[in-house]
Amino acid sequence: MPRVMPDDPLNELPGYALRRAANAMMAELTARLVPLDLRISDASVLMLIAERTDMTSSDIGKVLDIQRANMVPLLNRLEAAGLIARKPIDRKSQAVVLTPEGRERLADTRAIVTCFEDDLMARIPDEHRPHFLPALRALVGQPVDP
């Protein structure tokens, strides 16, 4: 007879539930982006620079919370895939812009992401749904003090 599995005593903790939900969400979105050969970070960059032609690597990193050093392999990969190009702003800075192919891939990305977000919200019961994004925003807006 198999030993019984206990209820997870951590399930009452919002922080724990937040982690679990985020992990599940990331895994799912990662899987949905596989057909486009994009990672979540890649898709984030494409969507971020969609309407702009003047964002530098540093700018993107600041918005997405990615350090400059870690932007390098990310952008190199997108450039190698032909999705972005580097356009000189001055002799030091370069803007990161979408190529025509990048623009096409962005359209596919938006379709997948929109569908994904809709599916995500659909799983939340009606009475809780409108409170979800505001609650999350409250958490990221003012980080918990140390």
Cβ neighbour number for residue 85 with a 10 Å cutoff:
16
How many residues at the interface with DNA, by CB under 7 A? 26
Instruction: List the Cα angle 65/132/29 in 5-degree steps.
Output: 55
| CA separation for the pair 5, 113 (Å, rounded) | 36
Size of the chain in residues: 146
72 binds, among DNA, a second copy, none (CB under 5 to 8 A by kind): DNA
128 binds, among DNA, a second copy, none (CB under 5 to 8 A by kind): a second copy
Write the interaction track for DNA spanning residues 32-71; mark x where CB under 7 A is met and - where it is not: -------xxx--------------xxxx-----xxxxxxx
Residue 97 binds a second copy, judged by CB under 8 A: no
Partners of residue 97 on adjacent β-strands: 85
DSSP 85: E
Nearer CB in complex with DNA: 52/68: 68
Q: How far is the CB of 109 from a second copy (least distance, A)?
A: 12
| CA separation for the pair 65, 1 (Å, rounded) | 50
**The one among 36, 62, 79, 88 contacting a second copy by CB under 8 A:** 62
